[in-house]
């Protein structure tokens, strides 16, 4: 609310006119005197003060309304994000899905069963995302940050995860058949029941990875693997993995 200081009653025109020595400034003084009286009269008009209070009250009402409807706005935003994802399902390109997925994950919305197969999602950031039973098959997710993401029972065959951060991710019962994981960070990742057949694991970081219950690693390329857990290399080679540095 604007605070208006009290105004003093202006002098009468006769008293003011008596102090004017030069006639040419009389119109200017008269103009100023008229507005002084107008300001004095309005400053004592209670109606204007009431309008001032009402203006402040309307701002308060608007703030209360904004926060009371925040839940509906969030739901609407989520609905629009899902609409973007579902509309582009099965298509190549991004189609706005990167922003939509990241927005949903930022609001801690589970992305269970999301289908982004064949999508172009380079640089995607879905840290700690719930991607249970999701479909990333043949998707291009190079250079993405998927730290601690849950890919349990997900379809990831032929997906390109080159150079991605998958530290602590769960691939329990996931299908990574023929997936490209070259240079990715898989430290601390969990592979219980995972199909890694034909996967390209060259130069991946497998520090502290949980590998002992891998379902299939036949023809997977493990050349140049970094920080392999004890016993992993021998086990992998004995179960059909290869070590080929070339593509």
The pairs formed by 52-58 with CB atoms below 8 angstroms and a separation of 24 or more are 52/1, 52/2, 53/1, 55/1, 56/1
pLDDT at 16 (0 to 100): 66
Where do the DSSP E strands lie in 17-63?
none
Beta-bridge partners for 165: 145, 185
Determine the length of the chain. 247
- What is the pLDDT at residue 80? 92
The residues facing 175 across adjacent strands are 155, 195
Q: With a cut of 50, which residues of the chain have pLDDT below it?
A: 1
Nearest alpha carbon to residue 36 among 4, 6, 11, 69: 11
Angle at alpha carbon of residue 125, lines to 124 and 126, rounded to 5°: 115
Rounded CA separation 182/121 (Å): 17
pLDDT of 32 reads 74
Can you give the pLDDT at residue 227? 98
Give the per-residue pLDDT at 124. 97
């Amino acid at each position: 609310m604007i605070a208006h200081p009290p105004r003093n009653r202006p002098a009468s025109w006769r008293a003011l006119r008596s102090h004017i020595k030069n006639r040419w400034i009389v119109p200017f003084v008269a103009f100023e005197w008229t507005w002084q009286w107008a300001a004095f009269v309005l400053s004592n008009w209670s109606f204007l003060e009431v309008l001032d209070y009402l203006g402040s009250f309307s701002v308060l009402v608007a703030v209360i309304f904004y926060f009371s409807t925040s839940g509906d706005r969030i739901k609407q935003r989520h609905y629009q994000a899902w609409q973007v994802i579902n509309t582009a399902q099965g298509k190549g390109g991004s189609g706005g899905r990167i922003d939509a997925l990241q927005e949903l994950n930022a609001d801690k919305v589970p992305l269970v069963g999301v289908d982004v197969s064949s999508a172009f999602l380079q640089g995607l950031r879905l840290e700690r995302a719930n991607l249970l039973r999701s479909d990333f098959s043949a998707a291009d997710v190079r250079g993405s940050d998927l730290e601690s993401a849950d890919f349990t029972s997900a379809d990831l065959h032929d997906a390109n995860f080159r150079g991605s951060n998958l530290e602590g991710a769960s691939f329990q019962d996931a299908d990574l058949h023929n997936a490209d994981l070259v240079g990715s960070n898989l430290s601390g990742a969990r592979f219980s029941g995972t199909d890694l057949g034909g996967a390209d694991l060259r130069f991946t970081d497998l520090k502290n990875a949980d590998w002992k219950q891998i379902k299939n690693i036949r023809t997977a390329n493990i050349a140049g693997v970094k920080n392999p857990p004890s016993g992993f290399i021998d086990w992998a080679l004995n179960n059909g993995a290869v070590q080929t540095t070339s593509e």
